Structure 1
Amino acid sequence: MLPALVGWVAAPESTVGWFSAVSLGSAIWFLGHGQSIGAGGVAVSMTPLLLLGVFVLITYRWARRLAATERLRVGSSDWSRVALRGVVPGFLVGYGLVAAVLALFTLGGPATPGVAAVIGSLLVPLAALGFVLVRPDDDEAPAFVRSWFRRGPTWLPAVWRVGWRGAGLLLAVGFAVVVLRLAMSWSAVADIQAQYDANLAGALVIGVGQLAILGNAATWALAFVAGPGFQVAVGSAIAPAAAHPGLLPLVPVLGALPRSSDYPPLMYAVLLVPVAVGAWLGHRVDAELEFFGNTRARLTATAVAALIAAGVVVALTALGNGAVGLDRLSSVGPALLPFGLALVAEVVAGALLLLGVLLLLERRRERAAQAGVTTAGSSDEGAPTAG
């Protein structure tokens, strides 16, 4: 609510009351929780992923504090029961009550969330509780969580951890591409920003709003790197083959998008980036686990780690996709199915390719060692014995 109030105070031409600003801030709160809002017949369903990340981080800190306090209070023996029957449902109900109060603030305001927004906003506390409790190799995790993972293969806890790290690496690649494009196109971005002619407070609010969608831009960059590309407006396309952004809204950060042009076939070399991330995942699985010659388990564990990494990124992309208006702005982001299939194929291929190289090198070392043993044995048989 605070940025909305700051924007209202800083806009001398505003003719609405302060409650409209509070109501708008509450609606943006729901938008940052993955819910759609409607304003004047326009539906906005594109979740600002960085704003969602801020909410998850804040909620995670409070959930972690609650879990630590309750675990000390009840002891490790009763912690699993209390976590399952008390902490998890209590935290969700408490968060839902806060969401219900904020939903009341949106009544009569310029923007209102959907009917199921209160229930849908529980996505954030669920994610926070997951980060706190779903730690398969942590002794402080509840026993029921550890038992879930024990039902699977012995390598699952380590692969779970490696897969999430791989998702973080993929998102870091997307952010790196976004930062690079912003640095290369900063003059165009600044020119569009200057057209707003906003005062300092207004410029800060506009800047914060654009910062919130940089997480979405990171998923767009990953869709470009993976091959299928993305669209910012219906009918536009930005992919390794060509860039045709078309007519875009006057948003400064969109000035970093490439101009309309066709790219040479060499641009498809960017597809090697997710393959390299997959190879890193295969290396991490090989470094953290010992399979004692079980090649099938090794293959499965490597593939599962790659699937977890790609699956997390695709799920975030699905949350970040959506509408920011009508007509051409009714669908913003990558086409989910082609992007998901391409990213999964490339990351899994990179992981399995590295595993294949490692297996080949190990077989060669084994053959060399066996050949050395055979040669040594033959030399011993032919050597003269002492009289």
Structure 2
Amino acid sequence: MKRTQVALLAALEALIALAISVGVLVVPATLIWAIGTGFSEFWSLFWRSSVDFWLLGHGVHLNVELSADTVAPFGLAGASDPFVLSLAPIGITALVIWLAYRSGTRSADSGHPITALIAGTVTYALLSCGVVFTSGSEIISTDRVTGLIFPPLIFAAAMALGLVVARYRAGERFPLDTLPERLGEPRSTIAFASLRGGALASGALIGVAGLLTAILLLVNYPLIIGLYETTELGVGGGIVITLAQLLYLPTLIIWAASWLIGPGFAVGANSIFSPLGTVAGPLPALPVFGVLPSSSSPLTWILLIVPILCGFLAGLWIRRRRVESGELSMGEGAITAAGSAVVAGVLLGLLAWFAAGAFGPGRLAEMGPTAWLVGLVFAGEILVGALIGLVSGRSVETVEEPRFLSGVSER
């Protein structure tokens, strides 16, 4: 395929990625504008609100300043003071990353992957530039600098990852492939096994957290519906709240993972939701917060074993795939278990950092988990579980060969 064709296709995919990620917000907003207001309001207001939310999903902070008349019915102290909205809807982030990653994998076999990466990134940057300069309103202002940098940066990173993974699977060598020669054995085996073990433990915990979130949504469904009815937002407001909650669902899953780890998360200043204790204050009027526990019990302490089991799974994998195959000794396996714990702690710490932020004025400026504490505690739990998994079972070296097989082998 010619270089020009590759660039045009990559640019088209970047356009589609931005259109889809913006469209999931603009289309419902347009329906509300048409049905809810009867075309009586300016459509630009709904566009600006949608792209503000889109930028928030890319890590761009929003500066909000509400008038005293607007916040008077809510009775929130200090709500008319300027505040920052920074709690990212990770659903938007995940959608953009997936679309960019898929674009990278499709461009890997084009013959000009670097051209595709540059064309896609530049196109996404130009289009997001238009989004940034049409965002904001009288009450919301965006940071233009981060708005121009963060969206193309996220798209470029995800697309580059897709390119590298696709080319690696196709058998192409990268500078990383020379790492085993530079490090030597078994240090290279320890390094790569630590990465895979940490990713395995982190993925297992996120999976359990997602399952726990789904169960809580089903169990507390009547309460959530009751909260919907008390808000009295109407059809249009209900659609907006539901869409926002769906986009924040991955954020809630990371909160659930932080809860399983132990440190928990906050929903407002001076609040904590953790298996070890719950201190809840006034909550935002979002129906999905009906899944939050009102108190803790000694029975919830049992769930603290989940991260240790995730570490056990990683340790068992290290033993079965690396130690029993003879690639690593038991001592080197223990070092790999420690490396896996570090990797898992860093991964969960980064996720917890992105899932925390400000969600409103006053006490709502503190939402989500404490990243460094989540990462540190999770690393310790994975280390304990991985070491248990590593020493479990019989050692291969101690298994004696049956007598009748030894006779056959001698022949």
Q: Give the alignment's TM-score, normalised by structure 2.
A: 0.77
Counterpart position of 1:154:
188
Q: Distance in 2 between matches of 1:241 and 1:199?
A: 38
Query: How much does 1:275 deviate?
Result: 0.4
**Are 1:334 and 2:363 matched, yes or no?**
no
Unaligned runs of 5+ in 2: 1-25, 66-81, 407-411
Measured after TM superposition, the shift of residue 161 of structure 1 is 4.0
CA contact (8 A) 1:42 1:325 kept: yes
1:319 aligns with 2:319: no
Q: Does 1:245 align with 2:280?
A: yes
Letter in 2 for 1:244: V
Compute the displacement of 1:157 (Å): 4.1
Counterparts of 1:1-387 in structure 2 under 5 Å? 1-12=26-37, 16-40=41-65, 41-69=82-110, 73=111, 83=114, 86-106=115-135, 108=137, 110-114=139-143, 115-121=145-151, 122-134=153-165, 138-141=169-172, 143-147=174-178, 151-152=182-183, 153-155=187-189, 156-157=191-192, 159-259=194-294, 261-264=295-298, 266-289=299-322, 290-292=325-327, 294-358=329-393, 361-362=394-395, 366-367=397-398, 369=400
- Conserved 8 A contact 1:33-1:124: no
CA contact (8 A) 2:349 2:372 kept: no
**Aligned-partner SS, 1:38:** strand
Question: What whole-Å deviation, never above 9, does each CA across 1:283-302 have from its counterpart, x for those lacking one?
Answer: 22333333445334322333
Q: Is the 8 A contact 1:320 1:333 kept in 2?
A: yes
In structure 2, distance between residues paired with 1:342 and 1:161: 20
**Which residue in the other structure is 2:77 paired with?**
none
Residue deviations 1:73-117 (CA, integer Å, cap 9, x gap): 35xxxxxxx54xx44444433322222121111155653322322
How far, CA to CA, are the matches of 2:129 and 2:287 in structure 1?
A: 34
Gap change, CA 1:168 and 1:245, over 3 Å in 2: same
TM-superposed deviation, 1:248: 0.6
Q: Deviation at 1:49?
A: 1.6
Is the Cα contact below 8 Å between 2:225 and 2:287 reproduced in 1? Answer: yes
Q: What is the CA-CA distance between 1:149 and the residue it aligns to? A: 6.7
Larger Rg: 1
**Contact 1:291–1:297 (CA under 8 A) maintained in structure 2:** no
8 Å contact kept, 1:133–1:145: no
**AA of the residue aligned to 2:297:** Y
Do the aligned residues in 1 keep the contact of 2:87 with 2:358 (CA within 8 Å)? Answer: yes
Secondary structure of the residue aligned to 1:278 is: helix
Instruction: Kindly indicate whether the alpha-carbon contact (under 8 Å) linking 2:205 and 2:307 is maintained by their aligned counterparts in 1.
Output: yes
Deviations 1:323-379 (A, max 9, x none): 011111001011222221111110122112211235xx31xx645639x99xx9xxx
Change beyond 3 A, Cα 1:293–1:57: closer
- 1: distance between equivalents of 2:209 and 2:270? 23
Q: What secondary structure sits across from 2:255 in the alignment? A: helix
Which segment is superposed worse, 152-161 or 267-276? 152-161
Moved over 6 A (4+): none
- Tell me if the contact between 2:117 and 2:156 (Cα under 8 Å) persists in the aligned partners: no
Secondary structure at 1:369 match in 2: coil
The secondary structure found in structure 1 opposite 2:169 is coil
Q: Does structure 2 retain, via aligned residues, the 8 Å contact 1:314–1:340?
A: yes
Aligned partners of 1:314 and 1:176: how far apart in 2?
A: 20
Instruction: Name whichever of 117-126 and 96-105 sits farther off.
Output: 117-126
Deviation at 1:158, TM superposition (A): 5.1
Is contact 1:299-1:352 (8 Å) kept? Answer: yes
User: Which amino acid counterpart does residue 284 of structure 1 have in structure 2?
Assistant: W
Between 219-228 and 7-16, report the one with greater CA deviation. 7-16
Q: In 2 relative to 1, CA 146–13 (structure 1 residues): closer, same or farther, beyond 3 Å?
A: same
Please report how far the alpha carbon of residue 220 of structure 1 lies from its aligned counterpart in structure 2 after TM superposition: 1.4
2:78 equivalent in structure 1:
none
CA distances 1:248-290 after superposition (whole Å, capped 9, x unpaired): 111000011112x3523x4322211000001111222333333
Cα distance in 2 between the residues matched to 1:149 and 1:49: 36
Tell me the C-alpha RMSD between the 2 structures: 2.9
1:60–1:125 CA contact under 8 A, matched in 2 = no
**Partner secondary structure for residue 116 of structure 1:** helix
Equivalence for 1:385:
none
Change (3 A) 1:294 1:96: same
| TM-score of the superposed pair, with normalisation by structure 1 | 0.82
CA contact (8 A) 2:341 2:380 kept: no
Q: 1:110 to 1:63 in 2, by over 3 A?
A: farther
